Amino acid sequence: MSPPPDGPRKGLSGFWLVGTTVVIYAASVLAGTSLIVGIFLPLLLTLIALQYNLRALAVILALFLVGVLIVHRTEIQLLTELGVLVLGLGVLVPFGWGWVSFPTTLWLASVVQLAGLAMVAVGAWWLGGSSPGDWVVANFNQSAELFLARAREEALAPESQAALNQLIDSLRRMVRQTYPVLLFINLAVVNLINLQFLQPVLVAMQPGRALYLFPRGWRLPSRLHWLLLLCGVAFVTGGGAVQVGAINGVLLLAFLYLLQGFGLLAHFLSRVRVPVLLRTLLYGILILSFQVYPLLVVAGVAEGIFDLRHLRRPAAGDGG
């Protein structure tokens, strides 16, 4: 399979593009975990596939596989991460070719990657007897133990220590119940970052390509808030599996409405002609301000109910 448009493409230097990709992956492998340096790998690998061809991409991925087998450090984890990377590329590259839209790429890549992780988890469960929930809780316990050790070093009062332990226990139960949707949100955020950085490069490489205005263009179905209400009622009144499914639904929909809340904010900032640089700075501050997230979720739900943008289509050249 090859991209439909023919002719020369202008892009980054192949030496720097491939070299940066290999260095970033090597740093991620040697660190033994998916650090932030690995977030931009899908972007770089997608550009390699677009600027050259799928065979060049396959050579790079084969090189990554050889590196994993040589290092032998948490090999199963690294192979799983490489598999998730490949699954994401299976959707990002067609997006680069113009075959898939921005919203479809975001949810499809995340769903495919989550399905791949689920298959690995089920296989590990069948072979080793350890459920996915046990694995997630074990990783949570490692992080919680480090946090509690630092808290003990500060000599907290007994009542404060007890409250902290109770909070950790509550979070542990919540993580065990909601790890599927938490994994999906994590994958979606990484894919969203790559899509946002990939778009302007594609516009430069492919003249005439339309730019999807994110977050301004993000709109959910108008009646989706009823599903959010249903999940909330099921969580409050239900029990057992119904309650677990409901809280996962609430978290997933809250994430989607959070994006819509950002879109509503972007719409009004653009409407009053706030400079792009100032808007970008504000977005960065809000992304790091977790206490503002509930307000943005409420704004996103209100937009879905009352159509606060009045269905006004953004101008073609207006940035998000």
DSSP symbol at 215: T
Round to whole Å and give the CA distance between 163 and 279: 39
Q: Which residue has the higher pLDDT, 161 or 88?
A: 88
The angle at the Cα of 112, spanning 190 to 185, to the nearest 5 degrees, equals 40
pLDDT of 30 > 90? The answer is: no
**Predicted pLDDT at 231:** 93
Average per-residue pLDDT for the chain: 82
Taking residues 231-248, report their average pLDDT: 90
Q: How far apart are CA 212 and CA 103, in angstroms?
A: 9
Does the residue 269 lie in any domain? yes
Q: Is residue 295 part of a domain?
A: yes
In a domain, 157, yes or no: no
Kind and range of the H or E element at 230? helix 224-237
- pLDDT value, residue 73: 59
Which residue matches tokens 């989706």? Answer: 224
- Exposed/middle/buried for residue 277 (C-beta within 10 Å: 0-12, 13-18, 19+): exposed
Number of domains in the chain: 1
Residue located via tokens 């072979």: 127
Evaluate whether residue 244 is within a structural domain.
yes
CA 276 to chain CA centroid, Å, is 24
Mean pLDDT, rounded, for 225-244: 90
* Residue 204 tokens, joined: 């430069």
User: Is 253 within the bounds of a domain?
Assistant: yes
**Model pTM score:** 0.81
Question: Sorting pLDDT into bands at 50, 70 and 90, what band is 223?
Answer: confident
Higher pLDDT, 153 or 244: 244
The predicted structure's pLDDT at residue 38: 67
Is residue 116 situated within a structural domain? no
Task: Report whether pLDDT(5) > 70.
Answer: no
Please state, in angstroms and rounded to a whole number, the distance separating the CA atoms of residues 254 and 225.
10
Taking 60 as the threshold, does the pLDDT of residue 211 lie above it? yes
**Residue range 144-186, pLDDT digits in tens:** 787 777 777 777 777 777 788 888 888 888 888 888 898 899 8
Residue that is written with structure tokens 């890549």 in the block: 109
Q: Is the Cβ–Cβ distance between 238 and 197 less than 8 Å?
A: no
Cβ density class 242-276: b for 16+ within 10 Å, e for less: eebbbbbbbbbbbbbbbbbbbbbbbbebbeeeeee
Q: Which residue has the tokens 């949707």?
A: 181
Mean pLDDT for 113-141 is 78
Spatial neighbors of 141 by CB under 8 A, at least 6 apart, are: 172
**189 within a domain of the structure (yes/no):** no
Q: Which residues contact 131 (CB under 8 A, 6 or more apart)?
A: 125
- Tell me the mean pLDDT in the region 207-222: 85
* Domain containing residue 235: 213-320
Query: Among 253, 182, 183, 256, which residue's Cα sits nearest to residue 215?
Result: 256
How does pLDDT run across 89-109, given as a tens digit for each residue?
Answer: 999 999 999 999 999 999 999
Say whether pLDDT at 7 is over 50: no
Contacts of 272 (CB under 8 A, 6+ apart): none
| Better pLDDT: 9 or 144 | 144
Q: Exposed/middle/buried for 52, CB within 10 Å: 0-12, 13-18, 19+?
A: middle
- Which residues lie closer than 8 Å to 188 by C-beta, 6 or more apart? 106, 107, 110, 255
156 close to 149: Cβ distance less than 8 angstroms: no
In a domain, 174, yes or no: no
Instruction: Write the pLDDT tens digit of every residue in 266-315.
Output: 888 888 888 878 888 888 888 888 889 999 999 999 998 888 877 555 55
Range of weakest confidence among 29-33, 252-256, 288-292: 29-33
> pLDDT-derived band of residue 34, with 50, 70 and 90 as boundaries?
low
